[in-house]
Chain A
Amino acid sequence: MKRNLVLGAAATLLTLGVIGTAGAQVYDPLEPMNRVIFNVNDMLDRNVVRPVAQAYVSVVPRLVRTGVSNVFGNVSDAFSAINNLLQGKKEPFGSDLGRVLVNSTFGLGGIFDIAAEANIEKYNEDFGQTLGWWGLGAGPYLVLPILGRSNVRDATGLVAHGLIDPVYQVTPTVNEYELVVLRALDTRAGLLGTDDLVQGAALDKYTFIRSAYTQRRRSLVYDGKPPKDDDN
């Protein structure tokens, strides 16, 4: 039942994404709702998430944090490999697969990023990028509760990801929520350096982040070579 619901939601999102625009322009018909969620997220971040991430950085030694990052990175490399395969990108697929194999074995389950030392390139493909590569437009900009900036296409990708992500699968020994929280913490800690930058640069944080996200995702879909924006 839960699965059907999720699939139904994914199908709805996909349809919305198809209707949405494909270009470089920001498309934000849900802005009033997005801004409300953005403000709640921002408040949560300032009062809870950011302080916890700062504490994590100051309490946990760098070596351990790097190990945690590497383990989650190893999982996401596996997904990146799958997505490269789905996009028919052979060499990147081989590279990401090679990373997973090397790091899972010699890197002791991904704790050490041996593949980086060996200069095996990391591609960071995800389902949102795959949908974009297949020609699906980004659709309306979305701010998701807690997860933050997204768009209909990327949110659809997230749902697809969530269905098979091992971190969400309950195992008898590890509580899935602890893993999910740890991964979120790891991600947030990695972004601490950009907080002051955005704060300093943005006239309006919401608009600034929306524009940066839209540009960034478009660039990723086109592997760093997006076609020229014809509006300029």
Chain B
Amino acid sequence: MKRFLSWMLLTAGLTAFAVHAQEAPDALIKRVASDVVATLKADKEIQGGNKKKLYDLVDGKIAGNFTFMRMTALAMGRNWSKATPAQQKALSDEFKTLLIRTYSGALSNYQNDVMDFKPLRMQPADTDVTVRTTVTAPGGQPIGIDYSMEKSDSGWKAYDVIVGGVSLVTNYRDEFNNVIRDSGVDGLIKTLVAKNKS
């Protein structure tokens, strides 16, 4: 009996993993978005302006679907290879915190925005796709939000968000470049740490 149970659990676990790994990139975004919106609508504390709770929500439900190492590498451009593995880790961690903070700030403006998905053009063998969505705030103009995603062993992960044609990663490239030119890779780590403490 005990053996049967553990066998069942193992199968269930494997099935869950398989379902997760096979989830299409647009389905993933749809699932996460509706999950987050449901939480936002239900949570009175977040609505009341509890920033810590909002940060935890983004950290817990959204951040896991991003690959911050890749994002940081892209934003660093040629400078990435100049950083030691320890520096890369520190940069990626700090960049992650900065992005979660920014994302939380954007979410606090949420007011029943509607998210539409454009049909996903994707071949079964593709490992890199762009999921295109439009988000419309009540009474506002629709704005395009695209997610660049890559396939990994643990499902699809986003490595860039492009809002109205503005790529998050590209936007940070100039900023990172400037700081590194003036004060090196350690200077950038220090700048990010200071920014995240402000």
Contact = CB atoms under 8 A, between A and B. Distances in A.
Nearest to A217: B165
B96 to A, nearest CB: 13
Given A26-B174, A204-B175, A211-B175, A224 B166 contact: no
Nearest to B102: A201
22 contacts: A24-B170, A66-B139, A122-B141, A197-B102, A200-B102, A200-B105, A201-B98, A202-B175, A203-B175, A203-B191, A204-B178, A210-B174, A211-B171, A211-B175, A215-B165, A215-B166, A215-B170, A219-B164, A219-B165, A226-B165, A229-B170, A232-B74
A182 interface: no
Contacts of A24: 170
Nearest to A209: B171
Nearest to A69: B139
Interface string A200-224: 1111100110111001101110001
A121 B165 CA distance: 19
Interface of A: 24, 26, 66, 122, 124, 193, 196-197, 200-204, 207-208, 210-212, 215-216, 218-220, 224, 226, 229, 232
Interface residues of B, number: 25
A117 B74 CA distance: 41
B144 A224 contact: yes
Contacts of B191: 203
Task: Enumerate the 4 nearest inter-chain pairs by beta-carbon distance, A residue then B residue, closest first.
Answer: A219-B165, A201-B102, A215-B166, A203-B175
Contacts of A212: 166, 171
Given A207-B178, A212-B166, A200 B171 contact: no
Nearest to A226: B165
Interface of A is mostly: helix
Contacts of B105: 196-197, 200-201
Contacts of A220: 165
B14 to A, nearest CB: 38
A206 to B, nearest CB: 10
Contact of B175 (A207, A218, A219): A207
A103 to B, nearest CB: 15
Contacts of A26: 174
A148 B102 CA distance: 23
Contacts of B178: 204, 207
A204 B173 CA distance: 12
Given A207-B178, A211-B171, A219-B166, 10 more contacts: A24-B170, A66-B139, A203-B176, A203-B179, A208-B171, A211-B175, A215-B166, A216-B164, A216-B165, A216-B166
A145 B8 CA distance: 70
Residue of B165, B166, B175 with highest tally of chain A CB at under 10 A: B165
Interface string B164-198: 11110011011110110000000000011001000
Contacts of B176: 203
B78 to A, nearest CB: 10
Nearest to B177: A207
Contacts of B195: 203
Contacts of A124: 141
A105 B21 CA distance: 55
B106 interface: yes
Interface string B96-107: 001001100110
B106 A197 contact: yes
Nearest to A124: B141
Contacts of B84: none
